[in-house]
């Protein structure tokens, strides 16, 4: 019983710490316990409210797939160093993300490794 209680508390604490700071909508649609990674090419970088999106294409086993990666708002991304020109179509990047639960290819951003090797996150200074 006490073990279960501890586990619940630990889970709750983790959930609290990892809760997205930006919350436009609830993050329930993403599996925040999982982190996936894709190395691919930027198809489109949409730097607009309410959420910025990155579309990445990658070929796996001869099949091209498109990944839709959701980010927070440009307002908060701007405070974390992102700019409209941070990503360009054709850039080779590695994106880590929390996958959609419903099977949609893509998910919620964790970080992006730019062609220069620089790692961008959503961590903003407020």
Partner 1 sequence: MAFVKMQTRLSMVAACALALMATAPAQAATDPLNPRPANAAAKPTFDLTGNWWVTQPEGAAGFKPDPPLKPEPMKVWQEVNDKRAGGENFRDKSGLCLPLGMPLILTRVYPIQVVQDAKKITIIYEYENNVRWIFIDGRPHPGPDDLIPTFMGHSIGWWEGDTLVVDTIGMNEEPDIQPGVPHTKDLHIVERIKLTPEGFNDELTLTDPNLFEKPWVTAKRYKKSDSELQEYHCLPENNHFAVGADGVLRAVEPPKQ
d(CA 45, CA 42): 7
Tell me the closest approach of the beta carbon of residue 123 to partner 1, in angstroms. 13
The secondary structure element, H or E, covering residue 97 is strand 92-99
Contact yes or no for 94/37 (Cβ under 8 A)? yes
Residue among 79 and 96 whose Cβ is closer to partner 1: 79
Q: Whole-number minimum distance, CB 1 to partner 1, in Å?
A: 22
Strand partners of residue 58: 65
- For 78, the token pair is 């701007």
Binding stretches for partner 1 (CB under 8 A): 16, 19-26, 28-31, 43-44, 46, 48-51, 53, 55, 68, 70, 73, 75-76, 78-79, 100-102, 104, 126
Min dist CB 10 to partner 1, Å, is 16
With respect to partner 1, which residue has the nearer C-beta, 30 or 120? 30
End-to-end CA distance of the chain: 40
Of the pair 1, 16, the CB lying nearest partner 1 is at 16
């Amino acid at each position: 019983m006490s073990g279960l209680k501890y586990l619940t508390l630990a889970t709750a604490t983790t959930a609290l710490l990892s809760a997205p700071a930006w919350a436009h909508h609830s993050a329930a649609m993403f599996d925040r316990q999982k982190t996936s990674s894709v190395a691919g090419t930027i198809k489109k970088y949409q730097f607009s409210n309410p959420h910025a999106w990155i579309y990445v294409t990658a070929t796996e086993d001869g099949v091209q797939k498109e990944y839709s990666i959701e980010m927070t708002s440009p307002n908060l991304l701007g405070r974390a160093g992102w700019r409209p020109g941070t990503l360009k179509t054709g850039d080779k990047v590695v994106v880590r993300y929390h996958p959609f639960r419903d099977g949609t290819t893509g998910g919620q951003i964790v970080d992006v490794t730019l062609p220069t090797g620089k790692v961008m996150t959503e961590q903003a200074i407020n």
